[in-house]
Amino acid sequence: MLSMIIHKSQKGFTLTELLVVMTIFAILAALLMVTFQGATRKARDTKRKSDLKQVQAALEKYFQNTGHYPINDDPGLLDGPVMKCEDSTVITWGSPWSCNDVSYGSSVVYMQVAPQDSRTWDDGGRTLGYFYFPWTNDDPPGGNFTTVLNPQGYRLISCLENSADPEVGTFTSPAWSCPAERNNPYVLYPGNI
């Protein structure tokens, strides 16, 4: 009769095994989330840099047509009207950029739409994104921003999210700076096309 002992096989997992597997999944999910967030930050920064390079190309075309860069219509309102053409057409981020060229007597399209930062931030009631600062040869490129007539230079700036980006530059001004969470300025100016 001893040979007839029935061995009951164990089916399923113990509670400890289930908890270990769930912990491993939670750790992997957290690591993937951090990696995904970093990748999306880098993708947004790549888009910002591409946008500003397109604006830079349009600024150079404008300069070729007029002999100067557009003025900033209201340098105190950095999130408002960005540029003003010779014909007084005001250009804002997210709107078409075309000017009635005084010398040619016709409309010139510089950009179908001036790009707009996908993630703007609030700075005391102002929504901020990309920046255009014109300057003359007498102005320090980072000094006080006033309305400049016939600007011979400019700074295009975006605040990047990735502080490890190799193209993060420096830009200091008493009038403006990137917010603390995105204090990584990407700066373009004539000559670094």
What the block records as the tokens of 54 is 């397109």
**Is 148 inside any structural domain?**
yes
Mean pLDDT of the chain: 78
3-state secondary structure of 66: helix
What the block records as the tokens of 144 is 């006080």
Among the listed residues 123, 19, 35, 33, the one whose alpha carbon sits nearest the alpha carbon of residue 77: 123
3-state secondary structure of 126: strand
**Is 16 inside any structural domain?**
no
Tally the domains of the chain: 1
> pLDDT: is 110 or 137 the higher one?
110
**Is 2 inside any structural domain?**
no
**Is 152 inside any structural domain?**
yes
Sorted by sequence, the CB contacts under 8 Å of residue 12 that are 6+ apart come out as none
Share of the chain above pLDDT 90, in %: 17
> pLDDT: is 176 or 67 the higher one?
67
**Is 50 inside any structural domain?**
yes
For the beta carbon of residue 47, count every other beta carbon within 10 angstroms.
Answer: 15
Answer left, alpha or beta for residue 136, where phi above 0 means left and psi between -120 and 50 means alpha: beta
pLDDT class of 79 with cuts at 50, 70, 90: very low
User: Domain of 122?
Assistant: 45-188
Strands 131-135 and 153-159, bridge-based pairing: antiparallel
**Is 157 inside any structural domain?**
yes
pLDDT(56) > 60: yes
* pLDDT of res. 179: 73
pLDDT(61) > 80: yes
* 106 φ/ψ angles, rounded to the nearest 5 degrees: -140, 170
pLDDT in tens, 90-128: 888 888 888 887 666 788 899 999 898 877 766 665 556
| Over residues 72-89, mean pLDDT | 65
What's the residue count for the chain? 193
| Over residues 181-191, mean pLDDT | 81
**Is 29 inside any structural domain?**
no
* pLDDT of res. 5: 62
**Is 62 inside any structural domain?**
yes
